Amino acid sequence: EDVLLSVRELATHFTADEGVIRAVDGVSFDVKPGTIVGLVGETGCGKSVVARSILRIVEKPGSIVGGDILLRRGDDWLNLAELPPYGPDLRKVRGGEIGLVFQDPMASFSPVHTIGSQLVEAVRLHERLDRRAADRRVAELLDLVGVPNPERVMSAYAWQISGGQRQRVMIAMALAGRPKLLIADEPTTALDVITQGKVLNLIRDLQERTGLAILLITHDLGVVAQMAEEVIVMYLGRVVEKGPVDQIFHAPQHPYTRSLLNLIPSTEAVARQSLKAIRGTVPHPLNRPDGCGFHPRCDVAIEGRCDKDAPALQIVGNDHTIECHLGEAERAKPCEDAGRRL
Ligand code: SF4
Ligand code: MG
C-alpha cells in the first residue's frame, strides 16, 4: 500500500521532577500521499506532541523514547526518529519534505523583517535561486495561497496584516520547500469563523491542486468532518479510534469518540445515560488512570476490567480500529444523527 509517512509505536515522554509524563505513549498511524488525515482529541491529549515529534522539535525535558517515524523517499524509508537532531538530513526534512503550520503565525514571524524578506529566505533555504528568481517564487507562493495584494504584503511587517492574511502567508512559508506533507496544528483556531472557513477552503484547495498530504490537527470534529478522509482520535497519549471519516462520523465505536460527537448511543446499556457532555476533564498526565485511560469519564466502563486492564486494539471495520474492552454487542449501534449534528 502506498504510504508517505508511517508512525509506529511512537513514544514521547517528558521527565518532570514529579515523574514521567507519557504525552505520546505508543501511537501508530499512516498518512497516504495526497490525503488529508485528521488528528483529533481534547487539549492535552498529545496531538501537538505527535506533530513536534515528527518534526523532531520536541522541547526539553521531552524526548522521543521509542518507536519509528518513517518517511518515504522513493523506495527507501528515512527514520526521522533516529536522525541526529541538528543534522543536515533533518534540516532538509523540516520545512522541506514536511511543512508545518500552526495556530499562532505571529510567533513564527520576525517582527523586524518584512514578510517578503522572510519568504525569500525560506525559499532560498531549500532552493538555490538568485534574488529575482526568489522574488518570482515568492510571488507565486503568495498567489497560490490567495493573498490578494502580494506586493503590499511583501513589503509589510507581520503585525501590519490581518490574522487571516498572516495565516495564508504562513501556509505560503510552509510550502516554500515544496513539501509532500503539510502538518497543520490547529491552523484556524485563532481565527474568526468566516476567516476560518476561508483558510480551510484554501488548505483543501491546495491539497487538490498540489497533491499534498496533510496531517490536520484540531480539537474541532466539525473541521475534520469537512476536510479529512481519515480520522485518528487521541486520548491521553493513545490512539483510541482510527478509521475512514464516514465510519468515524456515522458509526463511531469508541465511547470517547461518541462523547466527542455528542451522540446518544442507542444500546440498552447506555441509553439510560446522556452522553451530551463529556463528564470530567482530561486527567493530569502525571495521574494517569490505571487500565483504560478514559475509564473515569466513561459512562459504559466495565467495573473490575476497564479500571484494571489496558484495552487491546480491536479491528471493528475496514481500516477501522479501536482500543476498548467493549465487544461488538456492547457497543452502541451507528447513530444516523451524527452527520446532521455537525
Ligand atoms: Fe470505556 Fe472501558 Fe472502553 Fe475504556 S475500555 S472506553 S473505560 S468501555
Ligand atoms: Mg495542541
CA–CA gap between residue 247 and residue 334 (Å, rounded):
9
Q: Considering every ligand atom, which ligand is closest to the CA of 330? A: 1
Note the pLDDT of residue 87: 84
Percent of the chain predicted with pLDDT > 90: 71
Domain of 144, in residue numbers: 105-178
Q: Contact at 8 Å (CB) between 96 and 175? A: no
Q: Does residue 265 have a pLDDT over 60?
A: no
Q: Is residue 316 part of a domain?
A: yes
Distance 41 CA to ligand 2 centre (A): 9
Q: Considering every ligand atom, which ligand is closest to the CA of 253? A: 1
Q: Average of pLDDT values for 169-173?
A: 94
Q: Quote the distance between the C-alpha of residue 339 and its chain's center.
A: 21
Q: Contact at 8 Å (CB) between 212 and 22? A: no
Taken in order 233, 239, 244, 249, is the CA torsion positive or negative? negative
Q: Which of 308, 325, 330 to mutate to test the pocket of ligand 1 (most atoms within 8 A of CB)?
A: 325
Residue where a domain terminates, one of 178, 195, 215? 178
**Number of domains comprising the chain:** 2
Q: Is residue 137 part of a domain?
A: yes
193: amino acid identity, one letter: V
- Ligand 1: which residues within 6 Å by Cβ? 255-256, 292, 294-295, 298, 300-302, 306, 311, 324-326
Q: Is residue 213 part of a domain?
A: no
For the chain, the 3-state helix, strand and coil shares in percent, each to the nearest 5, are 35, 25, 40
Q: Is residue 2 part of a domain?
A: no
Residue where a domain terminates, one of 178, 198, 229? 178
CA of 305, closest atom in ligand 1:
2
CA of 306, closest atom in ligand 1:
2
Note the pLDDT of residue 304: 95
Note the pLDDT of residue 70: 98
Note the pLDDT of residue 337: 42
CA of 311, closest atom in ligand 1:
5
pLDDT tens digits along 29-67: 999 999 999 999 988 899 999 999 999 999 999 999 999
Distance 44 CA to ligand 2 centre (A): 7
Q: Is residue 236 part of a domain?
A: no
Which tops the pLDDT comparison, 3 or 89? 3
What the block records as the C-alpha cell of 23 is: 504525552
Distance 306 CA to ligand 1 centre (A): 6
Q: Return the minimum-mean-pLDDT range out of 14-23, 128-137, 166-175, 271-280.
A: 271-280
CA–CA gap between residue 328 and residue 277 (Å, rounded):
24
Q: Contact at 8 Å (CB) between 178 and 126? A: yes
- Which strand (E) or helix (H) includes residue 9? strand 5-16
Query: Considering the chain, what is the average pLDDT of its residues?
Result: 89
List, edge to edge, every strand of the sheet that includes 238-244: 98-102, 181-185, 213-218, 36-40, 230-235, 238-244, 320-323, 313-317
Angle at 164 between CA 97 and CA 185, to 5 degrees: 40
Q: Contact at 8 Å (CB) between 82 and 99? A: no
Q: Is residue 51 part of a domain?
A: no
Distance 206 CA to ligand 1 centre (A): 38
Task: Say what the pTM is.
Answer: 0.90
Q: Is residue 204 part of a domain?
A: no
Q: Is residue 89 part of a domain?
A: no
CA of 307, closest atom in ligand 1:
7
Residue where a domain terminates, one of 160, 178, 196? 178
Greatest Cα pair distance in the chain: 69
Distance 99 CA to ligand 1 centre (A): 36
Q: Does residue 268 have a pLDDT over 80?
A: no
CA–CA gap between residue 192 and residue 184 (Å, rounded):
17
